[in-house]
Amino acid sequence: MKLTRMSLFPLGATVTITCLALVGAASLCVASSLGTGEAPAISLAERRVIDIPDSQLLALSPDGASIAVSRPAGPTPTELCIHDAVTLQERMCADLGDLEARLWIDSVVWSPDGAWLAFAELWPQFFVDGDLWLLDASSGALTNLLDDGYSGDLSPSAMDGDTITLPAYPAFTADGTAVTFSRSVIQDGELRNVDVASVPIAGGDPVRVGDLGRARPDFDYWGKRWTADGSRLYVTLVAYQDTGLGPDSGIWVYEAGGSEARQLLRVDEPDGWPPHIVAVSPHGEHLLVLYPGHSAGSAMAPAYALVDGTTGAVESIEPPSQAGGASAPIIGVMLSPDGRTLMTVSGQRAKQVAVRGVTGSDEDVLMTESSTPIPSALGGEVLTWARDGAVLINGDRNGLGTLLVLESDDQAGS
């Protein structure tokens, strides 16, 4: 896969681009250095093992107070629960029995204030109607935000005469008052439109975001992220054609003050993999992006990069050095809430957690975990970094993870 920076420079401007080889045939083109200010010095204040039996850890709340889990562990959970991040006591559990297409585990997202969870149903897998749901994190009350009145099979014959809305990939708006999602509209058994829309959590009709809409069955808008100031929405567009991914595939950005989206990052090779947006810095200075690459033996391995949120310049995130000067594969990366620091989890059996500034190469190792025959609590594939300095790293087994409490010199000076 080759990612190409979409030119935003005046005609005749000179831009130096350096291409970096990645795993397999992929490459990254670096067109500028990325930065939002010097990162604070960070140290590890506390480490706690998280073990919530028969559950799948999903995400730490933005305030660091709660952990969302699905239960039982596995692909067909029947409950969505919230646990206290310190005591691990269950605060509430919502029964998901009313969901027709079951919980789409990867779709669960917290609101910025930690008061709500939003999620979609896994309708693409079960091929039955699915809706967009809102969960009150205090009471456990569930609200269907997008009930189109339809229920049942998604075959053309079953949907004859009906207009159906199928939501996917939700994300809260910056102020937490609405949920933005991908929307597929089917009428009389045929796809009429796929776009991005926002619906108020207080209730109301969804409103399309910008010009992000097309009437094609072969594309979708994947994970999306608003900046913390609400000025931009970043979306991954996946557009297929006969030979693979089309030229529209990649990352698009919608400026909230305008009406049109523009392509920020393009996937040039049809057989490439579309990038996934993991996190965005508060004002959109940086995007943390994940995309798969091929390692030796054709096994899949994640690759990460920082993308300039304005120019599309790409900078590869290289694995940190470990004991003896060797490097180990990165299995998880997260951007700090202020957008200035990267955390990496690297290694296979033996794991290492390190931090580095987005503008520099110096790294500080926060902790290491020796290789043992017991599955590690540092899986690393999923990380969430809360505003209070807590970081949840999902483990290699269901219900198991590690919670790190961090201190920074910013905090010390406050």
Res. 413: pLDDT tops 80: no
The answer to whether residue 400 is domain-embedded is no
Nearest by Cα to 222 from 128, 289, 155, 299:
289
In which residue are the tokens 């010097």 written?
38
Query: How many angstroms separate the CA atoms of 66 and 63, rounded?
Result: 8
**Which residue has better confidence, 11 or 139?**
139
Top-confidence range, 39-48, 113-122, 339-348: 113-122
Nearest by Cα to 208 from 199, 218, 217:
199
Amino acid in the structure at residue 144:
N
Res. 216: pLDDT tops 90: no
Among 86-95, 97-106, 217-226, the minimum mean pLDDT is found in 217-226
Q: What percentage of residues in the chain have a pLDDT greater than 90?
A: 49
Q: What is the pLDDT of residue 400?
A: 92
Res. 401: pLDDT tops 70: yes
Nearest by Cα to 327 from 299, 363, 288, 292:
363
The answer to whether residue 267 is domain-embedded is no
Among 180-189, 219-228, 268-277, 283-292, the minimum mean pLDDT is found in 268-277
306-334: burial string, b at 16+ Cβ within 10 Å, e else: bbbbebbbbbbbebbebeeeeebebbbbb
Res. 24: pLDDT tops 70: no
Res. 339: pLDDT tops 70: yes
In the chain, how many domains are there? 1
pTM score of the predicted model? 0.85
Res. 31: pLDDT tops 50: no
In which residue are the tokens 């699915």 written?
130
Task: Read off the pLDDT band of 381 (50, 70, 90).
Answer: confident
Amino acid in the structure at residue 114:
G
Q: What percentage of residues in the chain have a pLDDT greater than 70?
A: 81
Nearest by Cα to 166 from 203, 206, 135:
206
The answer to whether residue 220 is domain-embedded is yes
Task: Read off the pLDDT band of 377 (50, 70, 90).
Answer: confident
Nearest by Cα to 103 from 129, 121, 124:
121
Nearest by Cα to 344 from 299, 302, 283, 294:
302
Query: How many angstroms separate the CA atoms of 387 and 62, rounded?
Result: 6
The answer to whether residue 74 is domain-embedded is yes
Query: How many angstroms separate the CA atoms of 393 and 43, rounded?
Result: 16
The answer to whether residue 235 is domain-embedded is no
The answer to whether residue 245 is domain-embedded is no
The answer to whether residue 158 is domain-embedded is yes
Tell me the residue range of the domain where 147 lies: 63-111+113-227
Res. 32: pLDDT tops 50: no
The answer to whether residue 145 is domain-embedded is yes
187-215: burial string, b at 16+ Cβ within 10 Å, e else: eeeeeeebbbbbbebeeeebeebbebbee
pLDDT digits (tens, 9 = 90+) for 265-307: 988 776 777 888 999 999 999 999 987 653 333 345 568 999 9
341-372: burial string, b at 16+ Cβ within 10 Å, e else: bbbbbbbeebbbbbbbbbbeeebbebeebeee
**Which residue has better confidence, 222 or 377?**
222
Q: What is the pLDDT of residue 176?
A: 97
Mean pLDDT for 68-90 is 95
Top-confidence range, 54-58, 207-211, 374-378: 54-58
Q: What is the pLDDT of residue 37?
A: 63
Among 65-74, 225-234, 238-247, 396-405, the minimum mean pLDDT is found in 238-247
Among 82-96, 149-163, 187-201, the minimum mean pLDDT is found in 149-163
